[in-house]
């Protein structure tokens, strides 16, 4: 098994995508630290791994505080002797439009997603560097962080920030041989289950049937297990040369997201005054960039 002898932490791994990541890492031979805020959920997740012959232990604590990050690392070392892999998956949602979003709505999401990623990566990286472990850090992003989404100011900010931190950490940790990447998953979750557009896909998954090809191929939308293979790959020695990347996956589709690059450049001697911009902005920059996800029309047989 490719991860035999490795030890991984997966935050927010009691259920859903996080659990799929933890289970796949265990299938590939890694011992896993499960994390959730609910003890029963965490214990049930551990049992799915140990019942399959793997090794796992739970840490029940909210991600965000430094104390949780340090507890996760210490549990990995105390229980399994080392730490090689960190997957920062924990998250919450507080969706609402900008003018209705409270300070608490914003702060809660930023604290778990963005600060929680920072504190956990800082603790893991410090341990890996001190112990000369060429570790693997995998941070979970979102299409919302790449393109924006209505009603998700807080979530978009956090997920975009995670990708920015990943690119920075790839530079800072390169000398230590530690890779850092962001994964942008597209999969059926509790959130997508409530979106009418995905109803046929969710219906198929609930029945244990294959999702229609339109979802898997055209949209790159699949199950949690479709994402898990990329997590295990990035955690392995096979991905030692992959760092600082934002990689999308879902259904049958694998994508490499670009780093932000200028798409139009124009020069004007003397600079761009207000009047010059009024007169020449459109010609100078050309077509503007789109925002948000644009989904193709659902085929008639998949409409619900």
- Catalytic positions, written as ranges: 155
Q: What are phi and psi of 275, to 5 degrees?
A: -60, -40
Contact 89, 140 (CB under 8 A): yes
Which strands, in side-by-side order, build the sheet including 253-257? 56-60, 31-36, 7-10, 85-88, 136-140, 179-185, 246-250, 253-257
Contact 32, 24 (CB under 8 A): no
Q: Which of 14, 29, 58 is nearest to 235 (CA)?
A: 29
Q: Which residues contact 32 (CB under 8 A, 6 or more apart)?
A: 7, 8, 9, 10, 13, 22, 25, 26, 49, 54, 55, 56, 57
Contact 166, 246 (CB under 8 A): yes
Reported in sequence order, the residue ranges of 64-191 that DSSP labels E, i.e. its strands, are 85-88, 136-140, 179-185
Q: Is 136 helix (H, G, I), strand (E, B) or coil?
A: strand
Q: Is 298 helix (H, G, I), strand (E, B) or coil?
A: coil
């Amino acid at each position: 098994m490719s991860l035999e002898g490795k030890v991984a932490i997966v935050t927010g791994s009691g259920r859903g995508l996080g659990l799929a990541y933890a289970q796949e890492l265990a299938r590939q031979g890694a011992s896993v630290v499960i994390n959730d805020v609910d003890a029963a959920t965490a214990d049930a997740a551990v049992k799915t791994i140990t019942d399959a012959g793997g090794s796992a232990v739970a840490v029940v604590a909210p991600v965000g505080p430094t104390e949780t990050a340090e507890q996760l690392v210490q549990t990995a070392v105390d229980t399994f002797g080392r730490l090689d892999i960190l997957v920062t998956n924990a998250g919450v949602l507080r969706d609402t439009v900008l003018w209705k979003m409270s300070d608490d709505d914003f702060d809660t999401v930023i604290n778990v997603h963005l600060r929680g990623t920072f504190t956990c990566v800082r603790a893991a990286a410090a341990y890996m560097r001190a112990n000369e472990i060429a570790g693997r850090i995998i941070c979970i992003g979102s299409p919302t962080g790449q393109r924006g989404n209505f009603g998700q100011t807080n979530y978009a900010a956090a997920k975009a920030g995670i990708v920015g931190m990943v690119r920075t950490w790839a530079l800072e940790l390169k000398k230590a041989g530690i890779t850092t990447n962001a994964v942008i998953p597209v999969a059926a979750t509790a959130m997508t289950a409530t979106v009418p557009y995905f109803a046929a896909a969710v219906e198929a998954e609930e029945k244990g049937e294959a999702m229609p090809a339109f979802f898997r191929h055209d949209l790159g939308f699949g199950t949690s297990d479709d994402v898990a293979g990329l997590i295990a790959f990035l955690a392995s020695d096979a991905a030692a040369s992959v760092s600082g990347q934002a990689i999308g996956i879902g259904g049958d589709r694998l994508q490499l997201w670009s780093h932000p690059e200028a798409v139009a450049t124009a020069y004007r001697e003397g600079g761009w005054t207000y009047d010059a911009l009024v007169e020449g902005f459109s010609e100078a920059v050309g077509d503007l960039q789109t925002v948000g996800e644009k989904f193709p029309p659902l085929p008639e047989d998949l409409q619900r």
